[in-house]
Amino acid sequence: MFLLRRLLGVKTDDSKKAKVSKLAVGETLFINIGASQCGGRVAALKGGEVTITLTTPACTDKGEKIAISRRIDGHWRLIGWGKVKSGGTLAEVIEPEAQ
């Protein structure tokens, strides 16, 4: 996962761009996976890897890019991006046999 150094479109009182702080366990984030959007909560941090528990299921492939946003001053702001490394399966899709 990669976090931006500074926030886009947000300035502090002294006209400098605000810095992006590190993620914290239990923090709520907004995740964009392809065209899907869902909320998520940081479950674990280990080195450069982050485990995020999604509030609603999302269909994706391993290796797909995600965008990570944080709520700042009442607006969701892009703070970084990453790739899907693993996930769970809710249900297996069984294709009907062609006759």
CATH code: domain 2-9+21-83 is: 2.40.30.10
Contact 3, 22 (CB under 8 A): yes
Residue 52, exposed/middle/buried by CB under 10 A (0-12, 13-18, 19+)? buried
Of the two residues 17 and 75, the one the predictor is more confident about is: 75
Quote the pTM value. Answer: 0.79
Contact 66, 32 (CB under 8 A): yes
Residue 42 has pLDDT above 90, yes or no: yes
